[in-house]
Amino acid sequence: MRAYLALMHMRIPDRLDFAITLAPECESQACVPWSILTLVENAVRHGIDPSETGGQIDVRVRAVDGQLVVEVEDDGVGLAGSSSGLGTGLASLRERLRGHYGEAARLQLESGASGHGAIARLQWPLTSP
């Protein structure tokens, strides 16, 4: 995921900034393969790429009430502005999550707090070390 963001930053250096915050207690947590990457790819493709001015992508991983919570937020064009085609990646991610965690995993997508951009939130139960 870091490599992907670094590569995208190389592609559009003037339009993409990113930050990754990983809480220490989450470092050893297992992650459904490609799950965070899917969200980050979406943020680039649907949030930043269509925007003339670009934006910032924040990836935050933390533990809340026994759940691992991954948030990928961008301040790009937002859900209303993004073109169609949204969904293939998320739909297949949903199915993979269901395969790993059943109904215990959640995936939400909302418009950003500031009124533009989008937040994708992914959560599943923490596994005890």
Partner 1 sequence: MSAHAPTALIADDEPLLREALRTQLSRLWPALSVVAEARNGREAVALHASHRPDICFLDVHMPGWSGIDAARQIGAAAHLVFVTAYDQYAIEAFAQGVLDYLVKPVDDARLTETIRRLQQRLREASARPDLDALLASLARQLGQSEKAAPLRWLRASVGQTLRLIAVEDVDYLRADQKYTRVAWRGEGGVAGEALIRTPLKELKDQLDPEHFLQVHRAVIVNLRAISHITRGDHDSAEIHLKQRKESLPVSRNFLHLFRQM
Are 46 and 118 spatial neighbours (Cβ–Cβ below 8 Å)? yes
Number of residues in contact with partner 1 under rule CB under 8 A? 30
Residues 63-102 that bind partner 1 (CB under 8 A): 78-80, 83-88, 90-91, 94
Pick from 3, 14, 28, 129 the residue near partner 1 by CB under 8 A. Answer: 14
Helix (H, G, I), strand (E, B) or coil at 83: coil
Helix (H) or strand (E) holding 6: helix 2-11
Residue type, 106: R
Where are the alpha helices (H) located in 17-126, listed in sequence order?
35-42, 78-81, 88-101
* Residue 110 sits in the site that holds partner 1 (CB under 8 A): yes
Stretch that binds partner 1, among 27-35, 37-45, 50-58, 60-68 (CB under 8 A): 50-58
* Residue 111 sits in the site that holds partner 1 (CB under 8 A): yes
* Residue 52 sits in the site that holds partner 1 (CB under 8 A): yes
